[in-house]
Amino acid sequence: MSELTHRRPDGAVHMVDVGGKPATRRVARAEATLRTRPDVIELLAAGRLPKGEAIGVARVAGIMAAKQTSTLVPLCHPIPISSVEVDFAVGDDHVTVTAEVSTVGGTGVEMEAITAATVAAISLYDMVKAVDRLAEIDAVRLLSKSGGKSGDWVRS
């Protein structure tokens, strides 16, 4: 990483030209965690929150968010997304959202996976806030990525 890729020689930021990069299969996984009380988790898991069934709403929100990443993150390229999977692991006092995004293209989908996981967690918060305004979202992070010039990476 000897040079900054998103800066021109004059110091101004710009969008990197990925037009010459070969199209390869690229996959990224990310997660975010919503923390709340056990009684709220029971309501969420049973689909009995005041706003209704949270998991389905959050899944659709995450999928939609992945597709809108380039409009939210200024230097991201609009890319053809091949698939978005958003899954939920419900614990005693938390829900971990995992998002996996794939494409065949010249740039990766790390930001799309992080955006999908985060927006799904935000949607869960929106669904539980009527019963727990102290709920928190944390542990937003990239878990893995594959494909492209830099190859595969997995969080240890």
Report the 10 Å Cβ neighbour count for 141: 13
The helix/strand/coil state of 30 is strand
Catalytic positions, written as ranges: 126
DSSP 78: P
**138 Cβ neighbours under 8 A, 6+ residues apart:** 32, 33, 35
Q: From the CA atom positions of the chain, what is the Rg in Å?
A: 17
Residue-wise DSSP of 87-155: EEEE-SSEEEEEEEEEEEESS--HHHHHHHHHHHHHHHHHHHTTT-TT-EEEEEEEEEEE-STT--EE-
